Chain A
Amino acid sequence: MRTLIRPALSLFVLLTVMTGFIYPLVVTGIAQAVFSHEANGSLIGDGTVGSELIGQPFDDPKYFWGRPSATSPVPYNAGASSGSNLGPSNPALAEALRARVEAIRSVHGESLHNIPVDLVTASGSGLDPHVSPVGALYQIDRIANNRHLPRTRVRELVESHIEGRTFGFLGEPRVNILRLNFALDGLEPNE
């Protein structure tokens, strides 16, 4: 069995070189050459105002709000992703959901519509950049009032930011909240 030691050690070293150095470096090289925007985190603008794939926390009534985030110590901490991991029978989950429903209702009033479920449940990553189209449309009255904008303009803006399912069937329709809020800042009031 001693004859196995050399193949074991030397094959391990050589496969490490191939799969641990050459492979990731080749992928990095191709990625940086062909898809440098995506490979570096899909950063917006000069790279200092955010990533189009990473959500940001919003609580100002003038902005669209995204999903609750369970990262610590602050929400949307993109250095330490985390979900809430609260189980379905956990009283803490019931409490959190009730508090969020309450908070959303107190700001938006008793709407005819149900509260969109994604606005009151924490995302898996804590960094979800999207809400559902219903989740964004639910907020347009609040935005229009706070920004003194006509309701139809806000609605149009949201509708122009809805991304459909990929190829018409994959995934779910969604709205990127950071992009939407950037576009919102670009609208002039009472134009």
Chain B
Amino acid sequence: MTANALLQMVAYFVFLVALAVPLGGYMARVYTHEAGVAQRGLGAVERCLYRLCGIRADEEMTWKRYAFSVLLFNAVGILAVYGLQRLQHFLPLNPVGLGAVSPEVSFNTAVSFASNTNWQAYAGETTLSYLTQMIGLTVQNFVSAATGMAVLVALIRGWTRRTTEGLGSFWVDLTRSTLYILLPLSLVLAIALVSQGVVQTLDPQATVSLLDPWATDAGEIITEQTIARGPAASQVAIKQLGTNGGGFYNVNSAHPLENPTPLSNFLQLLSILLIPAALCFTFGTLVKDKRQGWAIFAAMMLIFVPMTVLTVVAEQSGTPLLSSLGLHENMEGKEVRFGIVNSALWATATTAASNGSVNAMHDSFTPLGGMIPMVLMQLGEIVFGGVGSGLYGMLIYAIMAVFIAGLMVGRTPEYLGKKIEAFEMKMASLVILLPASAVLLGTAIACVLPAGTAPLGNPGIHGFSEILYAFSSGANNNGSAFGGLTVNGTFYSIGIGLCMLVGRYWVIIPVLAIAGSLAKKKTIPISVGTLPTHTPLFVLLLVATIILVGALTFIPALALGPVVEHLTLSNR
């Protein structure tokens, strides 16, 4: 690895920590209603929203009522986005005159954005009107992120409260996440991105003349270039901050008008991990033991940093094919302004977080460079993960880790003063097993059906990797893709759509069930027999649990895809 590669990575981690720590503290104050200046400024808007909606700010919901609110609100969102796409040709703000989106792609996109996956079965600039992008996708970018944060806060209340049924109000958590955290951050980031050249206009596409007219194979002379534009910056800002990842343009943040400079790239890269990283510190503050937050953060970094280094090295090494032609780095599908380092760093960050935006085409990565993003998704999107969803997933693994430790010494496991018993373990197993089953079953079905293999963009082993990547991405709510696979057909639209539903809502329900069960319990005092959960020992135990579960589940599938591809390429 070059010195500059190291410098860019170190700068990234330093800025990330420097911003995440204070933001984490601020977010904790948002959820405990102590958000000072922001609350004085926006408090009137918040109260007005509650009055108009008939919401009681002090309502305490049981876990079932909380879960039902989440599902109901998300169902409304799915229906709205579906309807918008089907009717966009009758609606305003459609300057290019795009037609209705097909039913299956509409279903897929609606689920995709409500579940914070942002899988792209559509091609932004050629499928969706400005109105659909604005009030369909941008809105879901906000509320799906806020949903994740709300569920996380409810889970944390399971530990901070005792002998109660109440987990707080979903409506209040949702509103406060949006109003005090996501909106102000997005506004600042959007303007910063525009200053770098990200477009933000309601005008239709621009037409310019070519300096060197282009003759097509058919002999036609092309003299003009049509440049798609639109209100991109506002959507790109929340797409990164909310770990959504759905691009304004087809090629997402590889597009020069979506990510024009190294600085815009750095800002977007920071925003991808900012809130998920900061939530670790929010967690520490809320449970009144900041060391717990640092321990979780350390476990995430311990997985993330080596993965990043591996991807950078793999891409800088290229492939034997490239070497045989005298070429040394793998620049296929990458942009010159980002180069290898920023493309590889982005690929790991976007798949560690359940972001899924891309600034280079993962399908054209080297076999091992493309495997790391796949692994990060298959671990369940918990290394930072989605906003909220990453940390609640990680806390489920923490429960798993204390359970394993408890088995080893023969004590009832406990985490943060609450006993972990059979009910919690059953629910935790569901959280881990359901998305993993969706990945493996989906891949298996796609491999044996013609409808699954016909849309492949690459033949042979790499085709299998495309399928495995697609289901790993969908069921773990990431949204990035090996883009060669054509996914707007019925099979993948519906199949990935169902995986996204499983990966999101069948995880949220057990997580809230755990929250409800924990909140009802008494807090047990710390004794000599208590396993401390802020020590390096626990961090290593947690990392080992994650790697073990991930490896046991996915090594066979990975061996059939990227591993075999790497071996065949090097022995050619």
Contact = CB atoms under 8 A, between A and B. Distances in A.
Interface of A: 1, 4-12, 14-16, 18-21, 23-24, 26-28, 30-32, 34-35, 38-43, 47-51, 53-60, 63, 67, 73-91, 93-94, 97-98, 101, 114-115, 117-118, 120-132, 135, 165-167, 169-172, 174, 178, 181-182, 185
28 contacts: A4-B69, A5-B72, A6-B53, A7-B171, A8-B69, A15-B143, A31-B190, A31-B233, A35-B195, A43-B206, A43-B208, A47-B206, A49-B209, A56-B211, A67-B336, A76-B214, A79-B205, A80-B123, A86-B333, A87-B462, A88-B569, A89-B568, A90-B459, A91-B459, A97-B325, A98-B325, A135-B336, A171-B261
Nearest to B225: A78
B538 interface: no
A81 B203 contact: no
Contact of A27 (B126, B207, B234): B234
B260 A42 contact: yes
A109 B8 CA distance: 36
A118 B139 contact: no
Contacts of B483: 83, 85
A148 B260 CA distance: 34
A6 B54 contact: yes
A124 to B, nearest CB: 4
Contacts of A169: 4, 7-8, 11
A84 B333 contact: yes
Contact of B187 (A26, A89, A118): A26
B460 interface: yes
B38 interface: no
A73 B216 contact: yes
Contacts of B569: 88-89
Which residue of A53, A129, A174 has the most chain B CB atoms within 10 A of its CB atom?
Answer: A53
A8 B195 contact: no
A125 B222 contact: no
B194 A35 contact: yes
Interface of B: 4, 7-8, 11, 49, 52-55, 65, 68-69, 72-73, 76-77, 80, 123, 125-126, 134-136, 138-139, 141-143, 171, 174-175, 178-179, 183, 186-187, 190-191, 194-203, 205-212, 214, 216, 222, 225-229, 231, 233-235, 237-238, 249-251, 254-257, 260-263, 265-266, 319, 321-322, 325-339, 341-343, 358-361, 363-367, 370, 457-462, 465-466, 482-484, 565, 568-569
A86 B325 contact: no
Contacts of B4: 165, 169
Contact of B367 (A88, A121, A170): A88
A91 to B, nearest CB: 8
A170 B262 CA distance: 6
Contact of A127 (B65, B255, B365): B255
Given A38-B197, A74-B214, A81-B125, A27 B208 contact: no
A131 B225 CA distance: 20
A14 B49 CA distance: 7
Per CB-CB distance, the 4 closest pairs between chain A and chain B, nearest first, are A171-B262, A20-B135, A87-B462, A124-B254
Contacts of A58: 211-212
Given A59-B214, A93-B321, A87 B135 contact: no
Contacts of A82: 250-251
B327 A120 contact: yes
Contacts of A32: 200-201
B327 A19 contact: no
Contacts of A87: 363-364, 457-458, 462, 465-466, 482, 484, 565
B335 A128 contact: yes
A124 B330 contact: no
A12 B70 CA distance: 12
Contacts of B195: 34-35, 38
Contacts of A170: 8, 11, 262-263, 265-266
Contacts, number: 375
A11 B171 contact: yes
B148 to A, nearest CB: 15
Given A132-B336, A172-B338, A41 B206 contact: yes
A75 B215 CA distance: 11
Given A41-B206, A50-B225, A169-B11, A131 B194 contact: no
Nearest to B334: A124
Which residue of B80, B209, B227, B363 has the most chain A CB atoms within 10 A of its CB atom?
Answer: B227
B336 A128 contact: yes
B227 A78 contact: yes
Which residue of A26, A42, A75 has the most chain B CB atoms within 10 A of its CB atom?
Answer: A42
Nearest to B126: A80
Given A11-B49, A38-B194, A40-B229, A88 B336 contact: no
A9 B80 CA distance: 11
B337 A130 contact: yes
Contact of B200 (A31, A89, A90, A165): A31
Which residue of A11, A101, A114, A181 has the most chain B CB atoms within 10 A of its CB atom?
Answer: A11
Contact of B201 (A40, A56, A67): A40
Nearest to B226: A79
A59 B212 contact: yes
Given A124-B254, A124-B333, A53 B231 contact: no
B256 A127 contact: yes
A8 B73 contact: yes
Contacts of B210: 50, 56-57
A10 B53 contact: yes
Contacts of A50: 208-211, 225
A1 B187 contact: no
B212 A63 contact: yes
B462 A4 contact: no
A117 B80 CA distance: 46
A168 to B, nearest CB: 9
Contacts of A120: 325, 327
A49 B224 CA distance: 9
Given A40-B201, A87-B458, A117 B262 contact: no
Given A27-B237, A86-B458, A123-B335, 12 more contacts: A11-B53, A12-B76, A24-B231, A35-B194, A40-B199, A83-B483, A85-B458, A97-B321, A124-B254, A124-B358, A127-B256, A166-B262
B339 A172 contact: yes
A9 B79 CA distance: 12
Nearest to B55: A7
A171 B338 contact: yes
A114 B250 contact: no
Contacts of A1: 65, 68
B572 to A, nearest CB: 9
Contacts of B138: 19-20, 23-24
B256 A12 contact: no
